[in-house]
Amino acid sequence: MAEHETHVVDVLVIGAGGAGLRAAIEAHERGARTAVVCKSLLGKAHTVMAEGGVAAALRNVWPEDSWQVHFRDTMRGGKLLNNWRMAQLHAQEAPDRVLELEAWGALFDRTPDGRILQRDFGGHRYARLAHVGDRTGLEMIRTLQQRAVGLGIEVYMECKIVRLLRDASGAVNGAVGFYRESGSFVVFGAKAVVLASGGVGKAWKFTSNSWESTGDGHALALWAGADLIDMECVQFHPTGMVWPPSARGILVTEGVRGDGGVLRNRDGDRFMFNYIPDFYAKETADTIEEADQWYDNKKDFRRPPELLPRDEVARSINAEVKAGRGSPHGGVFLDIASRRSPEYIKRRLPSMYHQFKELADVDITAEPMEVGPTCHYIMGGVRVEADTEATTVPGLYAAGEVAGGMHGANRLGGNSLSDLLVFGRRAGLAAAEHALGTGEVALDLAQADEVIAEALAPFGRERGENPYAVHHDLQETMQDLVGIIRTESELLEADEKLDELEQRAGVVSVEGHRQFNPGWHLALDLQSMLAVARCTTRAATARKESRGGHTRDDYPNPDPELAKLNMVTRLDPSGAVTVAPEPLPEMPEELKALFDEEH
């Protein structure tokens, strides 16, 4: 038997971002012995990078706001592909979850009367995002981390899970991983496992995501027999840095536009006025004069088109550049310098100021930024039951970016951080209940041994493929063929390329030993990225329409029939990824009525 250490807990949480930490806190408080594992150090997960804020209808700035309006905005932003029940729970519970963070020590920016201040973001009817300057994610993760540490929850840092374990009935009952630091293996037995592993951005070339976002949780679920939905729905954030090359893809927060920044093309035109879709025409300003008055008087004026949902803005930027009206480095200009005072910019957007100064030598209080779309977020993910976050496999739960359904075809800014809190808590709660009603774990160590042998295989090969080279080629493939605008021939080409990349990934070899060896880590991350890439490519081929983050050149319009279907990806008995359209859960009449009301 391969050598490894073993830990048995009630609830194992994979991931220490906002979703994982919130899930762990809840499971612990419900009396379950809980452990968290994460690939990085505690407090470094991707959530730390979130800038703009957390969306919740707190009604501190706009008493007119309500969960119903937040729900409606979320569903409209998601082009109605959302799981309505998740969107409802999210809108209803987000305010409590944000207030709870405050009771745990978070310090949000304040209104004059001492409540939590809220800011405007694209697609949200009212100023709704609780925030801390432009470092909201840091505040959130630190608060949750300090809470989890205070509660004494076990944390296994720099530990990567490579496979889930299942019992004879097919239920998940543990996981196998290794410590990055030493390369030694660890087996967890658990009555319930919560996936909170974040996103997939690293499968694309230009991304705002960190190295951790390799879709491990999506792949772990798929391999364990779970369903994934909406994997074709990937969000390209309209404003990533485009220059210098090394900074390409790094996010420029939507807060810049919420605070007055506008998009201009090479000729200085605010081109977004030319791209207002009918769907949003009623609530979007069509003249510069009206748009500019909105910042101070949101009641009487409509919002500027720069604050349309992300998919609309990203496509518009892409079209401007394609038409030859882009900036010198292939983006467009984001200008706040000519519109707000340097003091205001530095106070509202301190980390953006810092980021451009340090990385691009650009003073955003004096000159425009160059920006363009960057792969940012995956709306698709593991299919879950809205109230409990239970996946289609017993004992397995999923919350946060790894779960699908909540955001439909496009996510609104700020709705992820609130999603992490609402569904992290629900997943932790349901997992604890499940665990406390489940008998002792009977681990199958032979299964674990197989997993370990497979994970170590790259050390045994000589002169195999270089994992960095395979990763590079995967990123090129996904960027070029399964990027922001898609078409059938290119998707089929991508699918073929993935065959070849899978073969190459199957024969990678790594140099050196097991201790903190990034080449080896990448070799294993590649397996997950390839699985995700395959799901996205096949689901994108199957959805023959354009909807939200999924845009097809060959089917440029939405198809009302496809609006009723999720694309479900799962493994068939031979291990191949299949796609099946399945009907969305039907929205009850009283919620449907919200869409008819005149707002």
Partner 1 sequence: MATLVQEAVPAGGAATSSPAETVTLRLWRGDARGGEFRDYTVENLGGEVVLDVVHRIQAEQAPDLAVRWNCKAGKCGSCSAEINGKPRLMCMTRMSSLDVSEPITVSPMRGNPIIRDLVTDVSYHFAVARRIPGFHPGPPEPDGTYRMSQVDVDRVQEFRKCIECFLCQNVCHVIRDHEDNKPAYAGPRFFVRLAELELHPLDTLDRRELAAKELGIGLCNITKCCTEVCPEDIHITDNAIIPMKERVVDARYDPIAWLGRKILRRPAPTPAAEVASLTPAGRSGEVISIEPRTPPGGPA
Ligand X SMILES: Cc1cc2nc3c(=O)[nH]c(=O)nc-3n(C[C@H](O)[C@H](O)[C@H](O)COP(=O)(O)OP(=O)(O)OC[C@H]3O[C@@H](n4cnc5c(N)ncnc54)[C@H](O)[C@@H]3O)c2cc1C
Q: Is 123 helix (H, G, I), strand (E, B) or coil?
A: coil
What is d(CA 322, CA 330) in angstroms, rounded to the nearest whole number?
9
- Torsions phi, psi of 201, nearest 5? -50, -25
CB of 274 to partner 1, least distance (A): 17
Cβ neighbors of 189 (< 8 A, separation 6 or more) are: 6, 7, 8, 9, 165, 173, 174, 441, 443
Task: Provide the minimum distance between the beta carbon of 486 and partner 1 in the complex, in angstroms, as a whole number.
Answer: 6
Segment 134 to 173, residues that bind ligand X, using CB under 6 A: 136-137, 160-161
Name the β-bridge partners of 179. 159
| The token pair that represents 422 in the structure block | 């609402």
Instruction: Please name the helix (run of DSSP H) or strand (run of DSSP E) that holds residue 39, with its range, or none.
Output: none
Give the one residue of 14, 455, 484, 535 binding ligand X; rule: CB under 6 A.
14
| The only residue of 192, 194, 196, 371 in contact with ligand X, by rule CB under 6 A | 196
Minimum CB distance to ligand X smaller for 213 or for 265: 213
CA pair distance 354, 336, nearest whole angstrom: 15
Percent helix, percent strand, percent coil in the chain, to nearest 5: 40, 20, 40
Residue 165 carries which DSSP code? E
Choose from partner 1, ligand X, none: what does 38 bind? Cβ within 5-8 Å by kind.
ligand X
Region for 445 from its dihedrals, namely left if φ exceeds 0, alpha if ψ lies in -120 to 50, beta otherwise? alpha
x/- mask, ligand X, residues 214-253, rule CB under 6 A, reads --xx---------------------------------x--
Taking CB under 6 A as the binding criterion, the range among 96-104, 206-214, 442-450, 540-548 that sits at the site for ligand X is 206-214
Tokens of 487: 């078409």
CB of 209 to partner 1, least distance (A): 9
The reply to whether 237 belongs to the active site is: yes
Give the number of residues in contact with ligand X, rule: CB under 6 A.
Answer: 46
In 104-235, alpha helices (H):
136-151, 216-223
**Which of ligand X, partner 1, none sits in contact with 372, Cβ below 5 to 8 A by type?**
partner 1
Backbone angles phi, psi at 13, to 5 degrees: -105, 125
Q: Does 69 bind ligand X (CB under 6 A)?
A: no
Binding partner at 400 among ligand X, partner 1, none, C-beta below 5 to 8 Å by kind: ligand X
Q: Residue 247 is encoded by which pair of tokens?
A: 């900074």
**Range list of H helices, 467-556:** 467-481, 488-505, 518-542
Q: Is 90 a catalytic residue?
A: no
Choosing among partner 1, ligand X, none, which partner's interface includes residue 373 (Cβ < 5 to 8 Å by kind)? partner 1
* Helix intervals (H) in 226-348: 255-258, 278-281, 288-294, 310-322, 342-348
DSSP code for 552: B
Q: Measured from the CB atom, is 54 or 452 closer to ligand X?
A: 54
Instruction: Tell me if 78 contacts ligand X by CB under 6 A.
Output: no
Q: Which residues are within 8 A (CB) of 574 and not within 5 positions of it... i.e. 6 or more apart?
A: none
Closest approach, Cβ 251 to ligand X, in A, equals 4
Cis peptide bond N-terminal to 342, omega within 30? no
Per CB under 6 A, 284 contacts ligand X: no
Q: Which does residue 515 touch among ligand X, partner 1, none (CB within 5 to 8 A, set by kind)?
A: partner 1
When asked if residue 202 is in the footprint of ligand X (CB under 6 A), the reply is no
- How far CA 474 is from CA of 75, 95, 108, 251, 495, in Å, comes to 32, 40, 40, 22, 11
Whole-angstrom distance between the N-terminal and C-terminal Cα of the chain?
Answer: 65
For 160, the enclosing helix (H) or strand (E) is: strand 159-166
Name the residue nearer to partner 1 (CB basis): 85 or 346: 346
Nearest distance from residue 81's CB to ligand X, in Å? 18
Is position 529 an interface residue for ligand X (rule: CB under 6 A)? no
| Of 501 and 524, CB closest to ligand X | 524
Residue whose CB is less far from ligand X, 208 or 536 = 208
Name the catalytic one among 124, 135, 257, 534.
257
- Contact string (CB under 6 A) for ligand X, positions 331-370, x = contact: ----------------------------------------
By beta-carbon proximity to ligand X, the closer residue of 161 and 187 is 161
CB of 160 to ligand X, least distance (A): 4
Q: How far is the CB of 391 from partner 1 (least distance, A)?
A: 27
Token digits of residue 541 = 């081929």
- For tokens 């501190």, name the residue: 60
Q: Considering CB distances under 5 to 8 angstroms, the limit depending on partner class, which of partner 1, ligand X, none binds residue 517?
A: partner 1
Regarding 262 and contact with ligand X (CB under 6 A), the answer is: no
| String of contacts with ligand X for each residue 389-408, x by CB under 6 A | -----------xxx------
**Should residue 15 be labelled a site residue for ligand X when binding is judged by CB under 6 A?**
yes
Q: Residue 316's binding partner, choosing from ligand X, partner 1, none, with beta-carbon cut-off 5 to 8 A by kind?
A: none
For the CA atoms of 497, 498, 504, 506, what is the dihedral angle to 10 degrees? -160
Q: One symbol per residue from 96 to 135: x for binding ligand X (CB under 6 A), - otherwise; what is it?
A: ----------------------------------------
Closer by beta carbon to partner 1, 297 or else 574: 297
What distance in Å separates the CA atoms of residue 410 and residue 365, rounded to the nearest whole number? 31
Cα dihedral sign, 360-364-368-372 = positive
List contacts with ligand X (CB under 6 A).
14-20, 37-40, 45-47, 49-54, 136-137, 160-161, 177, 196-199, 208-209, 212, 216-217, 251, 376-377, 400-402, 413-417, 420
Give catalytic residue positions: 237, 257
